[in-house]
């Protein structure tokens, strides 16, 4: 009897393991691929030798102005810092240093865009919805903080290419899905000025009710001390209800809740440069970290640019 039980457990473990494709090999330190992005500073991906379990994105030629620092967490908390390479090159090409958690492994290709949909995603456990993942997350929120510590150390290290080139007062943390939960977990860090939570939100049914193993609670939303933007794929996004509930609870800081009816995957892989998500993210970062009022016009004012942008729905608190 005991053997049967153990065999059954073993079969489940094997099945779970088979659900996760083997990771591509980690790439060695150095620049990866060609420069990209639509900004003024075409950007490259790179594995720094002193932080080889992360992937950075930076302008190929560093701008004269000090660069803000953007911290990134991957969807599914994947250990692949190249998973959002097109989108993150786009961000970096506007004059940012992006530090993404995860070894550089493999870039994802562009995919056909899904049809717009506002059909709600069934609750967790319903037919067609993937059950909670039992395997540990591949990356942790602590690695996001490690990326910030590394960047600030490089800014003060005389032999570093980033010596004196970064702005330690201009730090953002953001992530997609499970990475968005990592961003929420890190947002309380006093060095973080703003946060972006992309197709993500604290689980409404408790910390063990989703695919991630990260422990983030609704109570931690009160620790967010800077403006926060929730960008979501609409009712068809499995994280929509979680994100909307987060937004409704946040009262102490300026907050944005904006959704486009594209589902949980957003537009990271359906258009060059991250598509509509890329446009919104870059403008939010330019507004919050560079004090660019033209970028801020996308979010502020009675007739905000995003409010008038096709297919977007916008709610705001403390944004004028």
CATH number at residue 176: 3.40.50.1820
Cα radius of gyration (the chain): 19
Q: What percent of the chain has pLDDT over 90?
A: 82
Residue 11 lies in a domain: no
- Is a pLDDT exceeding 70 seen at residue 126? no
Domain that holds residue 228: 34-111+135-317
Furthest-apart CA atoms within the chain: distance in Å: 70
Strand partners, 267: none
**Tokens describing residue 199:** 């197709």
Instruction: Please check whether residue 73 is in contact with residue 172, taking contact to mean a CB–CB distance below 8 angstroms.
Output: no
For residue 95, what pLDDT is reported?
98
User: Could you tell me if residue 312 is inside a domain?
Assistant: yes
How does pLDDT run across 86-110, given as a tens digit for each residue?
Answer: 999 999 999 999 999 999 999 999 9
Closest CA to 101 of 119, 83, 115: 83
Specify if 276 maps to a domain: yes
pLDDT at 149: 98
Using alpha carbons, list the distances in angstroms from residue 93 to 30, 40, 62, 298: 18, 6, 10, 19
Question: If we measure between CA atoms, which residue out of 119, 85, 126, 127 comes closest to residue 102?
Answer: 85
Mean pLDDT of 263-281: 98
Q: Are 205 and 254 in contact (CB under 8 A)?
A: no
pLDDT at 207: 60
Is 223 domain-assigned? yes
Instruction: State the average pLDDT over residues 120-133.
Output: 54
Which of 266, 276, 284, 319 has its CA nearest to residue 173? 284
pLDDT at 208: 58
Distance between CA atoms of residues 81 and 103, nearest Å: 5
Which tens digits make up the pLDDT trace of 248-258?
999 999 999 99
Per-chain mean pLDDT for the chain: 90
Mean pLDDT of 240-252: 98
Average pLDDT over residues 138-166: 98
Residue 98: the pLDDT is 99
Nearest alpha carbon to residue 172 among 245, 73, 266, 243: 73
Is 61 domain-assigned? Answer: yes
Could you tell me if residue 58 is inside a domain?
yes
231, 267 Cβ separation under 8 angstroms: no
| pLDDT surpasses 90 at 17 | no
Q: What is the pLDDT of residue 127?
A: 40
Q: Which residue has the higher pLDDT, 278 or 117?
A: 278
**183, 74 Cβ separation under 8 angstroms:** no
Question: Tell me, what's the pLDDT at 168?
Answer: 98
**Is residue 118 a part of any domain in this protein?**
no
Average pLDDT over residues 291-305: 97
In this structure, is residue 9 part of a structural domain? Answer: no
Model pLDDT, residue 134: 60
Q: How high is the pLDDT of residue 18?
A: 38
pLDDT at 16 over 50: no
**What is the per-residue pLDDT across 163-220, written as a single tens digit (0 to 9) for each?**
999 999 999 999 999 999 999 999 999 999 999 999 999 998 766 556 677 889 999 9
**Confidence check: pLDDT of 125 > 60:** no
Phi first, then psi: what are they for 191, rounded to 5°? -80, -15
Q: Is the pLDDT of residue 7 over 70?
A: no
* Domain count of the fold of the chain: 1
């Amino acid at each position: 009897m005991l053997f049967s039980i153990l065999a059954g457990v073993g079969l489940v473990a094997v099945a779970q393991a088979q659900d996760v494709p083997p990771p591509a090999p980690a790439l060695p330190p150095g620049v990866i691929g060609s420069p990209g992005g639509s900004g003024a500073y075409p950007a490259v991906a790179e594995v720094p030798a002193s932080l080889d379990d992360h992937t950075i994105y930076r302008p190929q030629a560093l701008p004269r102005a000090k660069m803000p620092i953007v911290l990134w967490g991957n969807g599914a908390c994947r250990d692949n810092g190249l998973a959002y390479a097109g989108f993150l090159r786009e961000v970096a090409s506007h004059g940012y240093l992006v530090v993404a958690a995860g070894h550089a492994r493999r870039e994802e290709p562009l995919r056909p865009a899904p049809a717009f949909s506002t059909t709600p995603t069934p609750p967790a456990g319903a037919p067609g919805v993937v059950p909670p993942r039992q395997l540990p997350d591949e990356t942790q929120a602590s690695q996001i903080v490690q990326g910030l510590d590394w960047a600030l150390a490089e800014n003060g290290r005389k032999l570093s290419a980033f010596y004196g080139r970064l702005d330690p007062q201009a730090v953002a943390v953001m992530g997609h899905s499970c990475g968005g939960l990592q961003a929420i977990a890190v947002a309380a860090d006093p060095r973080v000025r703003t946060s972006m939570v992309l197709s993500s939100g604290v689980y409404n049914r408790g910390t063990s009710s989703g695919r991630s193993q990260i422990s983030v609670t609704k109570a931690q939303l009160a620790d967010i001390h800077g403006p926060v933007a929730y960008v979501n794929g609409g009712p068809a996004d499995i994280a929509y209800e979680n994100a909307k509930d987060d937004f409704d609870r946040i009262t102490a800081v300026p907050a944005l809740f904006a959704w486009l009816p594209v589902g949980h995957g957003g537009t990271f892989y359906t258009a060059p440069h991250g598509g509509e998500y890329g446009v919104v993210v870059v403008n939010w970062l330019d507004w919050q970290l560079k004090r660019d009022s033209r970028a801020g016009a996308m979010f502020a004012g009675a007739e905000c640019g995003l409010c008038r942008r096709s297919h977007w729905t916008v709610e705001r608190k403390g944004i004028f």
